[in-house]
Amino acid sequence: MVRHDHPEKDATPCRGGCADTPQPAGGGWLRRLHAWFLHVYADGYNAKVDARKRHLIGDLRGAVLEIGPGSGANIGYFAPGIRWTGVEPNPMAHPYLLRKADAAGLDATLLTGTAERLPVPDASQDAVVSTLVLCSVADPDRVLAEVRRVLRPGGRFVFIEHVGAEPGSGERRWQRRVKPVWRRLGDGCEPDRDTAGRIRAAGFARVDIEPFRMPYPIVAPHIAGRAER
């Protein structure tokens, strides 16, 4: 069953459990383009991180919240039987997400909102997933505090993120140089964020982070890992 908090925007009916979350200013050709781009690039990106996603995401059980699920790149990795909630501010991505969740037979609730203010109760989630989101959120520290708030004790935060290159490196300088344009075209994405440092400082009980690289310019440095509340 797929539930959606703004069912009038697409053909999928809201069959209950719809949340009353604030609707951010939406629409616009750039948001539509981002949603489409996330949809078309997902398979190529996933092929390169397939083993990591299987390991990190496929292992999760129970109530799983995904922040910034975009156009649904991770939907195919969730184990059958989980209860998925997605919080995605770009309404143009919702039709892609709803189609993928429906096709996967996922028990899904899709909410419009931001990860800085997650519309779910304290300690209500067994796991939270973030892939390529902490680079774009307006306030990553606030988001990490929200992730901790909604996780039950012992609950798991799993993430794959592109991050800032080694400080002082030529790659880092390039990340900083292109940032103003990158951020504008990339829906707020900043290529030089110290996301690993922020996750380590966010107060989780245990944090495992593995750095790796992807074959892309500017956003090659990545991290994958998990943190436990």
Ligand X SMILES: C[S@@+](CC[C@H](N)C(=O)[O-])C[C@H]1O[C@@H](n2cnc3c(N)ncnc32)[C@H](O)[C@@H]1O
* Residue 67 binding ligand X, by CB under 6 A: yes
CA distance 194 to 206: 18
The answer to whether residues 65 and 78 touch, using CB atoms and an 8 Å cutoff, is no
**Interface with ligand X in residues 118-147 (CB under 6 A):** 131-133, 136-138
By CB under 6 A, name the one of 114, 125, 175, 195 that touches ligand X: 114
* Residue 191 binding ligand X, by CB under 6 A: no
- Total residues contacting ligand X by CB under 6 A comes to 23
Among 69-77, 192-200, 208-216, 217-225, the segment contacting ligand X (CB under 6 A): 69-77
* Residue 109 binding ligand X, by CB under 6 A: no
By CB under 6 A, name the one of 5, 146, 161, 187 that touches ligand X: 187
Residue 17 is which amino acid?
G
Which string of b and e fits 95-127 if b means at least 16 CB within 10 Å? bbbbbbbeebebbbbbbbbbbbebbbeeeebbb
Measured over the CA atoms of residue 159, residue 162, residue 163 and residue 169, the dihedral's sign is positive
- Chain residues binding ligand X by CB under 6 A are 38, 42, 67-70, 73, 87-90, 93, 114-116, 131-133, 136-138, 187-188
